[in-house]
Amino acid sequence: MEYKVVMPQLTDTMEEGKIVRWLKKEGDYVKKDEPLVEIESDKAVMEVPSMREGVLIKILAEEGEELPVGSPIAVIETEVEKAKGKIGKPVEVEKTTKQEAKKEEKKEKKIEIAEVKVENVEEIKLPEGTASPAARKLAAQLGLDLKELQEKGELPSPAHENDIKSYFYKKFFTKQALQILDEFGLEPETVYKEINKKKISKDDLLNYIKQKNIPKVGKPSDIQSILIKNLSKSAQIPVYHITHRFDVSQILKDERFTLTTYLIKIVGDVMQNHPRVRTIYKNGEYYTYPASNISVAIAVDEELFNPTIKNVEDKSLSEIYAELKELKEKSSNKRLTVEDIQGATFSISNLGMFGVIQFDAIIPPFHSGIVGIGTAIKGVITATFTFDHRVINGAQAAQFVVDIEKRINDKKYLKSLK
């Protein structure tokens, strides 16, 4: 029986996903719950397991392709014997466009049947020594044996003039210099002629790069790409800011827990009396959730994660501290799960440990707000709140901030926290 694998909805806000990497190829046997594909959602890159056991007979979405949630991405034949004659053959699938995906949310499904045709293409290997006329001429001039170099894998087949030049001029560079050439995408011929030395070292090349002010071009990581997408969405949110100073000197006396741990707990408790802070705006409707779910910004090298601590109102300081520590470890190892990154309606970002006094934090998509925490000066922190004006108005937000201050100043309340 054929089982169609579809683009899963990995988070509650995900509308489309990107195929990052297939972990299995056509013809592979796949066990149930075995990792099948890596998919980039609106929040993270995750391994998606197979929901069925069988043979992967067809991959319908290539790596790098973005598809709406619910779109077919692969086909698994659960009966092994039947799979033998199906690998690579055409498969009938339901083709879903982005517009159709949105209509499905409104229960107005429109399905178009399309035939996916895949032909078995026989790999043709060109004979060694194959090259363009210009490449052959240049190789002869330089005394290079094309066939021998291609057999060694030092030249591609067919070889072109630029391949010959690149190979020839690379001999004028040290091993470390060659690595830098590749990192900066520089042409060996051009660099050699401009530096004009018999052997170009790492330092020679670095000085050349500095003098020419040549940039190193690099693509963002998968996590950075997700962050860029989310920042673009955040830029569309109408926001306003409230800045307030809190005296946290009583909290700082407790060395068992971090300030962030305390703030998560306090904000989570106050959120229970402010339903608007537990509300998000999505597709023209308000979604108000019963739990105080708070996401926390965690930086790992050049990447930023935003995992969620859920049901904060029901947890102790000890539980929050332990969970925060676990989420930091998962972020460092890039092992956050779908459950770890979804469900938050408010966020906390603390840069106080860097000595930053005050900053505006960008509100994540599908959050009512975020607070940026600065460093404590004589027991006082400066907190800047950013709110989604579509969800919560100024008066409601101001009362929320005031109620947080009341909890921070309530010694009896602070003592009751464990």
Q: Give mean pLDDT, residues 335-361.
A: 94
pLDDT, averaged across the chain:
88
pTM: 0.69
pLDDT digits (tens, 9 = 90+) for 368-416: 999 999 999 999 999 999 999 999 999 999 999 999 999 999 999 999 9
Q: Give pLDDT, residue 181.
A: 93
CA atoms of 87 and 76, how far apart (whole Å) = 10
Is residue 112 scored above 50 in pLDDT?
Answer: no
In this structure, what DSSP letter does residue 256 have? Answer: T
Pair of tokens at residue 72: 């077919």
Q: Give mean pLDDT, residues 148-154.
A: 88
pLDDT digits (tens, 9 = 90+) for 31-55: 999 999 999 887 677 889 999 999 9
Q: Give mean pLDDT, residues 265-271.
A: 98
Q: Give mean pLDDT, residues 52-80.
A: 91
CA atoms of 46 and 336, how far apart (whole Å) = 8
Q: Give pLDDT, residue 117.
A: 43
Instruction: Map out the domains of the chain as residue ranges.
Output: 2-77, 133-212, 238-417
Q: Give pLDDT, residue 41.
A: 82
User: Domain 2-77: which CATH class?
Assistant: mainly beta
Its sign, for the CA torsion 339, 342, 346, 352, is positive
Tokens 């996916």 found at: 116
Local confidence band at 106 (pLDDT 50, 70, 90 cut-offs):
very low
Is residue 26 scored above 60 in pLDDT?
Answer: yes
Could you give the percent of the chain with pLDDT greater than 70?
89
Cis ω for the linkage preceding 35 (within 30 of 0): no
57, amino acid identity: I
Burial letters 238-265, b for 16+ CB under 10 A, else e: ebeebeeebebeebeeeeebbbbbbbbb
Is residue 241 scored above 80 in pLDDT?
Answer: yes
Q: Give pLDDT, residue 85.
A: 66
Q: Give pLDDT, residue 11.
A: 79
User: Domain 238-417: which CATH class?
Assistant: alpha beta
Q: Give pLDDT, residue 80.
A: 77
Pair of tokens at residue 395: 């008066």
Q: How far, rounded to the nearest angstrom, does the alpha carbon of residue 234 sit from its chain's CA centroid? A: 16
pLDDT digits (tens, 9 = 90+) for 172-190: 999 999 999 999 999 999 9
From 92-101, 125-134, 167-176, 397-406, the region with the lowest mean pLDDT: 92-101
Provide the strand spans (E) within 60-147.
66-68, 72-77, 91-95, 112-116
Is residue 286 scored above 70 in pLDDT?
Answer: yes
Burial letters 175-186, b for 16+ CB under 10 A, else e: eebbebbeebeb
Could you give the percent of the chain with pLDDT greater than 90?
63
